[in-house]
Amino acid sequence: MSTDVKYAIQDVYPDDFSWCYGCGRLNEKGHHFRTGWGGDKTVTIYTPKAEHTAIPGFVYGGLLASLIDCHGTGSASLALHKKNGYMPEDGVEAPRFVTASLQVNYKKPTPQGHSLKAVGTIEELHPKKYKVHIEVFSGEICCATGEVVAVKMPESFGQSS
Amino acid sequence: MSTDVKYAIQDVYPDDFSWCYGCGRLNEKGHHFRTGWGGDKTVTIYTPKAEHTAIPGFVYGGLLASLIDCHGTGSASLALHKKNGYMPEDGVEAPRFVTASLQVNYKKPTPQGHSLKAVGTIEELHPKKYKVHIEVFSGEICCATGEVVAVKMPESFGQSS
């Protein structure tokens, strides 16, 4: 299993939108999930910390949900950026997506102390809306699956509630 | 809005199963979500930390997913414990549930700096399996909804993968 994502879409998110606790490169306390292309799939690799426990020895489900969430928005951003002609390594600011819905199925207890690999398959629902089908592996074992519907962040995001 | 849950089911989880990053009272670095009865609904109240950011000013969706996750398993535990004749304040060890599936719909950007209140409605699918329908409020505004299917932790949990 590869242990790193060389060119991540989060590296080219606009600074103002790079504070996400899951994947923002500027959030010092966050997870720093990084999502890149792996062929026509998308990949995020992360090793949970010791405190990310469900019961001792196994990974917290909320951490898996967080990984799936940010992997979903990152995958959608990768897809639209590619459609616009860019790869993360081009250094061009990428579009930012937000999660409309998140679904997670926990298949197997996920052992701690190992890196996890989220693999995404992208489905375009609309030019500004993607569904990402995600599998999370520990070694060869698929521990969780999920789906994220990600929508391009509206210009008005956060300006009204 | 009330600001505390007096008697939480997590207070009577067995010690060995109280290390959850979301809701384990023994996990020093965790969120310490606490879930109790509010009439025939279940309630968890939590104020996200400054670092739990999506974009500045708004709460990270993965944190909301974590809140919904642990609120779901806590609600299922409350329900079965009550069926067995106990309330959290009785000091009797409660059954522990694990999440089979988690679904979250993000309805509105969730402002930071305010307490969140998760409210659960419990549906018994089977004596060992519950579906919990959850709404997360910031003040009067429902920011997210979700569903958790929680299954009583098998004796063999974690013993094989």
Q: Is residue A2 part of a domain?
A: no
CA atoms within 13 A on the CB side of A146: 35
Hey, is the C-beta of B78 within 8 angstroms of any chain A C-beta? no
Among the ranges given (A151-155, B46-50, B123-127), the one the predictor scored with the smallest mean pLDDT: A151-155
Report the percent of chain A where pLDDT is more than 70.
95
Q: B122 phi and psi, to 5 degrees?
A: -100, 135
Identity (one letter) of the amino acid at B72?
G
Backbone angles phi, psi at B111, to 5 degrees: -70, 140
A92: which 2 tokens?
């061009």
Task: Determine the pLDDT at residue B159.
Answer: 58
Asked if B58 has any chain A CB less than 8 Å from its own CB, the reply is yes
Whose tokens are 């993607």? That residue is: A130
What is the domain extent for residue A72?
9-152
- B161, part of any domain: no
Is the pLDDT assigned to residue A161 strictly greater than 70?
no
pLDDT of residue A107: 97
Q: What is the pLDDT of residue B161?
A: 41
Q: Which amino acid is at B103?
A: Q
Assess if residue A161 is contained within a domain: no
Structure confidence at residue A155 as a pLDDT band (50, 70, 90): confident
pLDDT at A159: 59
Q: Please report the pLDDT score of residue A4 as a whole number.
A: 86
Of A28, A65, A106, the CB nearest to B62: A65
pLDDT digits (tens, 9 = 90+) for B63-94: 999 999 999 999 999 999 999 999 999 999 99
Residue A126 lies in a domain: yes
B116: Cα separation from own chain's centroid: 12
Which stretch of DSSP H or E encloses residue A97?
strand A97-106
Give the distance from CA A148 to its chain's centroid: 9
| pLDDT, tens digit (0-9, with 9 covering 90-100), for A14-26 | 999 999 999 999 9
Q: How high is the pLDDT of residue B1?
A: 44
Average pLDDT over chain B reads 95
Is 90 exceeded by the pLDDT of residue A157? no
> What's the pLDDT band for A40 if we cut at 50, 70, 90?
very high
Cα end-to-end distance, chain B, whole Å: 43
Predicted confidence at residue A158, as pLDDT, reads 59
Residues of B in contact with A137 (CB under 8 A): none
**Residue A113 in domain:** yes
- Sorting pLDDT into bands at 50, 70 and 90, what band is B4? confident
A74-113 burial, b at 16+ Cβ within 10 Å, e below that, comes to bbbbbbbbbeeebbbeeeeebbbbbbbbbbbebeebbbbe
- Judge whether A111 lies within some domain: yes
A70 touches chain B (CB under 8 A): yes
Q: Give residue B76's pLDDT.
A: 98
Confidence band (pLDDT; 50, 70, 90) for B155?
confident
E strand intervals along chain B:
35-38, 41-46, 97-106, 116-126, 129-138, 141-152
ipTM topping 0.90: yes
Across the interface, of A98, A106, A109, the residue whose CB is closest to B100 is A106
- Domain total in chain B: 1
Residue A134 sits at the chain B interface (C-beta within 8 Å):
no
Alpha-carbon distance of A108 to A116, in angstroms, equals: 13
Chain centroid, CA A29 distance in Å: 17
Quick one: average pLDDT of A40-45?
98
**Any domain includes A157:** no
B85: left (phi over 0), alpha (psi -120 to 50) or beta: left
Whether residue A14 lies inside any domain: the answer is yes
Kindly determine whether residue B103 and residue A99, on different chains, have CB atoms separated by under 8 Å.
no
Owner of token pair 């998140």: A102
Q: Is there a contact between B22 and A62 if contact means CB atoms under 8 Å apart?
A: yes
The predicted-structure confidence for A72-101, as pLDDT tens digits, reads as follows: 999 999 999 999 999 999 999 999 999 999
User: Which of chain B's residues have a Cβ under 8 Å away from the Cβ of A57?
Assistant: 158
3-state secondary structure of A91: coil
**pLDDT for A1:** 43
How close does chain A come to B90, measured CA to CA in Å? Answer: 24
- Chain center to CA of B2: 17
| CATH code assigned at B141 | 3.10.129.10
Cα distance between residue B33 and residue B135, in whole Å: 15
pTM of the model: 0.95
